[in-house]
Amino acid sequence: MGLSASPLSLKDQLAFYGAYHTNHVNVLIHIVCVPLIWMTALSLLLTSEVGLHKIISPLPMSVQAHLLDLDAMFSASLPANVYQHMNMASWIAVCYWIYYAMLDKTIAILFAPLWTAFYASAFYLAHNNPHAGTISWSIFIASWAAQFYGHGVHEGRAPALLDNLLGAVVLAPLFVFIEVLFFLGYRKDMQIELKNETGRRIKEVKQAQAQAKHAKAH
């Protein structure tokens, strides 16, 4: 069950993602690499110089005019050190967090300081290191490679993104944060419920694979 099936069900979304991450080594790799991928992705956006004009260029002229007026209002009314954070990276981060809040307000609030720190780290790297692009690309690619290694060697199952790209990309940061919360003893009832649901989904996948092999053999 992917993101489109039950977009506002935390249980369904985490069970979908969790079914692809049951091996402890693979989960640990993701806990390290997912934040690195997220921060370097933000850093790459911040160094890409993709401005508002390029983003809105495919939109109708009337819509572009309203967005440019809004941007001009922000530029005129906000201090420069605040307006500089009105960028594509920050807006994407805000949209992610809003979605997490729709799934579970308490978890989203707990995640907010760390989520802000991720953006702040990316912003600092992008604006204070002349080699930010090279550093970000190197960490980004190495982190993805490590995750594929975790799936191929330890999990023995393809990553979730091969079945549901949007669900995997959107859910990954929240999933690893909740994994850490669970390790710290957060909401044992939710842990048990998700473990049972994840087990059920894995059983269904194995049964489907076994049936497919049987049908192929005959």
Domain spans, the chain: 10-51+87-217
- Using DSSP, state whether 171 is helix, strand or coil: helix
| Digit-coded pLDDT (tens) for 93-128 | 999 999 999 999 999 999 999 999 999 999 999 999
Residue 158 reports pLDDT greater than 80: no
User: What pLDDT shows up at residue 94?
Assistant: 93
Token pair, residue 54, equals 């390029």
Q: What pLDDT does 12 receive?
A: 80
pLDDT in tens, 67-99: 888 888 888 898 988 888 888 899 899 999 999
Query: How many C-beta atoms lie closer than 10 Å to residue 34's C-beta?
Result: 20
